[in-house]
Amino acid sequence: MFVMFCKNCGHEISDDAKFCSNCGTKVEVEEEIVEPIEVVDKTQAKEWYYVENNDSKGAFTLEEMKELIESNKITGSTLVWKASLKDWQKLADSELNEFMHVDEEKNWYYVENNDSKGPYSQEEMKGFMDAGILSGNSFVWKTGMQDWTHLKNTELAGNEMPEPEPTPQPSFYGVKEKSIALNVVLTFVTCGLYGLYWLYTIAKDLNDLCASQHQEKGADPFLVVVLSIVTCGIYQIYYMYKAGKMVSSLTKNGQHLSDDSVVLMVLAILQLSIVSYCILQSNINGLTKN
């Protein structure tokens, strides 16, 4: 029940009255005009988005998404979204799944260069493993899995993955531990001549150690000695700094060595290059033992 008022005198009248009890005016009831409801074809609404190469594409209609699925432009592992979804989800877990004609044999995907590849059969995945395209640490996914995971944690790991041949570890290219005390004595006994040879061996050993750890090498050892003589020791000052940087780029037990480049350069400036040699040789000996 709702309250009505007479349009003539404003007197309150009941909802079932035909005439106003105050002035007798006939009560006219206005018919409620109902606006027709427009029926929206959801298949034509552009509301779908998908991810490709870490970038969202869209918006697309349901029909357009269906065409993308049928053309394999998007697959079960593709992330999709529309306004009614709380978050992005895999196409296979969305309502779009009904448009997928999943081949039971081809339901595996893998990641390469931040992009998913697939679908492939388990036999094809085994072929990729044999060819070295996939390893135990490759990210894979198939329909029904909650998220991407390492291949070694799936049933594919049971396909007798070939163990990668161990990479021959470099023997530091002949770098051997040298006696610091003996080198110091020989340098003094030969009035510094042996020191030039010691500088040569330090430069060579550092280059070899850098090569073994895939780091940038320094100048040719022979060139280091020649330039140090020609420039009356000026180049040697620069090389001590460079050698310190080379040492700091190397690792021992997974840890980088300290950067003594400035200390080595200052010692060379103070005519204490032999002390710099001792520091560098100590680092080289430590890496050789490692």
Q: What is the pLDDT of residues 82-104, one digit of tens each?
A: 988 888 888 878 888 777 765 55
Lowest pLDDT segment from 50-54, 187-191, 225-229: 50-54
CB atoms within 10 A of CB 27: 17
Place of tokens 């008022």: 5
pLDDT at residue 43, rounded to an integer: 62
Say what percent of the chain tops pLDDT 70: 86
- Is there a contact between 245 and 280 (Cβ–Cβ < 8 Å)? no
Say which DSSP state 289 is in. H
Highest mean pLDDT among 7-21, 146-160, 267-281: 267-281
Q: At what angle do helices 193-212 and 234-248 cross, to 10 degrees?
A: 30
Residue 204 tokens read as 């060579």
- Mean pLDDT across 168-181: 70
Q: Is the peptide bond before 59 cis (omega within 30 degrees of 0)?
A: yes
pLDDT higher than 60, residue 161: no
Distance CA 81, CA 46 (A): 12
Q: Tell me, rounded to whole angstroms, the distance of Cα 20 from its chain centroid.
A: 81
170 confidence band (pLDDT: 50, 70, 90): very low
